Chains A and B, each alone.
Chain A
Amino acid sequence: MATVIPVGQDHERPSGAALAATLSASLGVLALALAQVLSAVSASFNAAMQTLGNCWMPGAAGIGPYSGKETVAALVWLGSWALLHARWKKRELPVGLIGVVALILIGAATTILWPPVTDLLAHR
């Protein structure tokens, strides 16, 4: 169970901020994997990825929908980090449990992004 440590009483910083950074990294790479599968499934989603990349990334036209997938991953990574950090920074949370969850998400993202698996999921 999470424990809230009042500011001023802690000699060691609680684990929440470290776990927010770790879990958000895993959410970012999972978002990348899901964006890749959705791009493979849907031509309109793929086009949306190109449009998203074109919005801000220099050279996006040259690198295609990959620019949008990078953008989605960055937004999910940094957005979830900001949210989780705000909620967890003063909490002592179980490092082992959340670390294992992050590892599972990273493993899932890696598996999804292996092209034969992506094709299988996208029915290509």
Chain B
Amino acid sequence: MHEVESSDVVPARALWVVVLVLGLIGLAIVGITAPMEGLLGDSAQAIRGAVHGTVAGLFMVTATIGLFQGYRLFAGQARSVAELQLGSVANATVAFLTIVLGNWVYIPYRASGGPRGYFLEHAPEVHKIFFEFKEFAALFTLPLAVAASFILVVYAGTVLRRRDLGTLVAVLLTLVFFYFLVAFGLGAAVTKLKSV
């Protein structure tokens, strides 16, 4: 006996296929037409910076969604626990990946002849304040994002019913966005001044 699919499921799947196809077309256009060396930079380590920057860009998306979901939760407008759980787990996963890749790109940053030595020689405050604060602020995102996703996954619908737990998760998601923004903004500034 065949199960009849809900009429809501089929259009949702079709939408994902459309998004996937559009994404692949976009990537193909970039791959064919873009001057890749110009995009990545001419450094031997440029690929590390590009990968870290790309994942950090993805984190910007998940952290922003998290902020919006936190607001909806705080305002009592959140309806779907599954959406909150998916968003928060994605947020925590991307936070972890961004930190791991940040460590990877930190190696050429500190290496002899890298940006760290350049900044210490020419503008020490850029390393001392921009970079050192950024590298620590980025680490804040992981435990905060994991705490938010843990609460959403374990407590599920209780978070929607209990105002205090909903507020707690909303605050955690807001803090993730704040520390992401600090790290991303300072990281972008450092990269603009001198990339790896």
Interface residues, chain A, with chain B CB atoms under 8 Å away: 12-13, 15, 17-19, 21-22, 24-25, 28-29, 32-33, 36, 57, 59, 62-64, 66-67, 70, 73, 77, 95-96, 99, 103, 106, 109-110, 113-116, 118
Contact = CB atoms under 8 A, between A and B. Distances in A.
Contacts of A25: 143-144, 146-147, 172
Given A99-B168, A114-B133, A18 B155 contact: yes
B58 to A, nearest CB: 21
Given A59-B107, A113-B136, A22 B168 contact: yes
> Could you tell me the dominant secondary structure of chain B's interface residues?
helix
26 contacts: A12-B161, A15-B164, A18-B150, A22-B151, A22-B172, A25-B143, A25-B147, A25-B172, A28-B143, A29-B139, A29-B143, A32-B136, A33-B136, A57-B103, A59-B103, A62-B106, A63-B110, A64-B110, A67-B103, A77-B143, A95-B167, A96-B164, A99-B167, A106-B140, A110-B137, A116-B129
Given A21-B150, A62-B110, 10 more contacts: A17-B155, A18-B150, A18-B165, A24-B147, A29-B143, A36-B136, A63-B103, A64-B110, A96-B164, A115-B133
Given A13-B155, A64-B110, A113-B137, A95 B146 contact: no
Contacts of B171: 99, 103
A50 B186 CA distance: 25
Interface string B147-170: 100110011001001101101100
Nearest to B179: A110
B158 A115 contact: no
Contacts of B140: 29, 106, 109-110
Contacts of B107: 59, 62-63
- Tell me which of A17, A77, A115, A118 has the highest count of chain B C-beta atoms within 10 A of its own C-beta: A115
A95 B104 CA distance: 38
A12 B162 contact: yes
> Could you tell me the dominant secondary structure of chain A's interface residues?
helix
B65 to A, nearest CB: 20
6 tightest Cβ-Cβ pairs between the two chains A and B: A62-B107, A25-B143, A95-B164, A21-B147, A25-B147, A18-B151
B111 interface: yes
B175 interface: yes
B4 to A, nearest CB: 34
A99 B155 CA distance: 17
Nearest to B106: A63
Contacts of B158: 12-13
